[in-house]
Amino acid sequence: MLELYTDRFVLIAPEVLYFGTPVAVMSTLNPDGTSNLAAMSSFWALADRFVVGLGSVGQTAANLLRTGECVLNFPSPTEWQCVERLAPTTGRADLTDYHRASGIRYTQDKFAISGFTALKSLRVAPLRVAECPVQVEARVLTRHHGYDAPALSYFELQKLCVHAQSRIVDQQNRIDIDAWSPLFYVFRHYFGKGARLGRNFRATY
């Protein structure tokens, strides 16, 4: 007989659904040739593909549609303050009502405001972020609008190449999972990685 655990659960209505996802800083190319940086945590990976969710009215979405390329820079917990400096900024000069209502301001030089350092990419035009231990150059495959939510866009990206700081790479040229610690975004708060709990059956090391 199915037991009901109604005394152990309550219905809630959370404002956001960020239960705990890694943070990325996306680099895209502005029309004037400079690189825009945007902090984000709405994405997931499958094989060599990423699906990322963005607001349709921001500069990042416009740049992706125009150029079809980007860099996903993955910070560690050390860089959380740099990431947060990007959070209330946009590279779009003509602010929308959404931007104004959300307290988001136009910032032209995202590297300067964040404190990040620019690095040249190999296969795409947008610059990489030197402080981020992992950087993935990628190209856009397709874009979809959110169902009944045109203010949201979903982009499918394909990995072109991956850069990793040598200190987090093991002798087999793989990410050293003990050395690598992603920055996590949990209900709009930042966290680092805790102790390793176990391994999935698919893990090879």
Contact 67, 159 (CB under 8 A): no
pLDDT at 161: 98
Note the pLDDT tens digit of each residue in 62-71: 999 999 999 9
Rounded-to-integer distance, Cα 26 and Cα 186, Å:
19
Domain boundaries, the chain: 21-191
Domain 21-191 homologous superfamily, CATH: Electron Transport, Fmn-binding Protein; Chain A (2.30.110.10)
φ/ψ of 124, rounded to 5, equals: -130, 165
pLDDT at 131: 98
Note the pLDDT tens digit of each residue in 121-168: 999 999 999 999 999 999 999 999 988 989 999 999 999 999 999 999
pLDDT at 37: 98
Which residues of the chain are under the pLDDT cut of 70? 1-6, 201
pLDDT at 102: 82
pLDDT at 64: 98
Residue recorded with tokens 């416009």: 62
